[in-house]
């Protein structure tokens, strides 16, 4: 039986303004009865307001990215320490959109995750293969290389969550077969065991992300090594997000 407490994290990406705080409040009100951890990684511009308005029962507010330095001449960037100051409790590192569009390497993701952890925050480290890599049978190799090189030496089960997000499943409505998800999550857990030891591996959460919707969430959450989800599009509407939490 899976004894890890599940986490459902929403990633709003570049969506949402102060007018969206109402949507967050709806989630906050409804989620206090649940036995799962819930996070909403919102745009930096609304972290502070969101954090001030929620009840902090089950829900935490997070960010989607940060710079790996604490401060300095990096025009337009924001550090983990600054996001913590605004109220973030968790920060995503290495989302595939950052890796692909902004050319973030495993080394950069590792530095970002390190700075997040050193700021006493949790990080969600994302990994995942492209469709081409999947078709070439490279999924396991790609995700293991990404995780091995992106996960900091200071990562443990309390400060780090891993999210497997096949790039071709993000925003497409397509998901891998349940067997494929199961195999990848098993491989990732055994890699974490090799690197960090079995105790940490048994406690570290591994989320699935990529087109998680109310209609496929149950099957995904039934997989043994899946400890929750990183949800994009369906986290923007409180009804859909709450449906997924309810199923979990």
Residues in the site for ligand 13P, rule: CB under 6 A?
11, 95, 165, 170-171, 209-212, 230-234
Given a contact cutoff of 8 angstroms between Cβ atoms, the answer to whether 89 and 120 are in contact is no
End-to-end CA distance of the chain: 15
* Nearest residue (beta carbon) to ligand 13P: 232
> Cβ of residue 221: shortest distance to ligand 13P, in angstroms?
15
User: Is 180 one of the annotated active-site residues of the chain?
Assistant: no
For every residue of 7-23, DSSP letters joined together read EEEEE--S---GGGHHH
CA distance 213 to 231: 8
Closest CB to ligand 13P among 81 and 92? Answer: 92
CA distance 137 to 20: 41
Count, residues in the chain: 248
Closest CB to ligand 13P among 87 and 233? Answer: 233
> Cβ of residue 36: shortest distance to ligand 13P, in angstroms?
17
For every residue of 79-93, DSSP letters joined together read BHHHHHHHT-SEEEE
> Cβ of residue 223: shortest distance to ligand 13P, in angstroms?
17
CA distance 239 to 219: 19
Tokens of 162: 């891993």
Closest CB to ligand 13P among 171 and 197? Answer: 171
Closest CB to ligand 13P among 4 and 213? Answer: 213
Task: Choose, from 95, 97, 104, 129, the residue flagged as catalytic.
Answer: 95
> Cβ of residue 71: shortest distance to ligand 13P, in angstroms?
27
CA distance 75 to 78: 9
User: Is 165 one of the annotated active-site residues of the chain?
Assistant: yes
> Cβ of residue 176: shortest distance to ligand 13P, in angstroms?
12
Closest CB to ligand 13P among 38 and 230? Answer: 230
For every residue of 151-218, DSSP letters joined together read S-TT--TTTEEEEE--GGGTTTS----HHHHHHHHHHHHHHHHHHH-HHHHHHS-EEEESS--TTTHH
Task: Choose, from 23, 104, 165, 182, the residue flagged as catalytic.
Answer: 165
Q: Residues with catalytic annotation?
A: 95, 165
């Amino acid at each position: 039986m899976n004894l890890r407490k599940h986490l459902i994290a929403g990633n709003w990406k570049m969506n949402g303004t102060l007018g969206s705080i109402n949507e967050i409040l709806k989630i906050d009100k409804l989620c206090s009865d649940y036995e799962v951890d819930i996070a909403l990684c919102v745009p930096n511009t609304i972290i502070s307001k969101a954090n001030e308005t929620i009840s902090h029962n089950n829900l935490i507010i997070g960010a989607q990215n940060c710079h790996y330095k604490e401060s300095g001449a990096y025009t337009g960037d924001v550090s983990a320490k600054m996001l913590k100051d605004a109220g973030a409790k968790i920060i995503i590192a290495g989302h595939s959109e950052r890796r692909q569009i902004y050319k973030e390497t495993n080394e950069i993701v590792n530095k970002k995750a390190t700075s997040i952890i050193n700021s006493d925050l949790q990080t969600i480290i994302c990994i995942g293969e492209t469709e081409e890599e999947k078709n070439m049978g490279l999924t396991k190799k790609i995700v293991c290389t990404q995780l091995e090189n992106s996960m900091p030496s200071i990562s443990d089960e309390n400060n780090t969550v891993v999210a497997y997000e096949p790039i071709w499943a993000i925003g497409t409505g397509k998901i891998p077969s349940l067997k494929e998800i199961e195999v990848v999550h098993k491989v990732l857990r055994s890699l974490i065991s090799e690197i960090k030891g079995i105790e940490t591996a048994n406690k570290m959460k591994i989320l699935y992300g990529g087109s998680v919707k109310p209609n496929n969430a149950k099957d995904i959450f039934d997989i043994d090594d899946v400890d929750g989800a990183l949800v994009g599009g369906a986290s923007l509407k409180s009804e859909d997000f709450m449906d997924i939490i309810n199923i979990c």
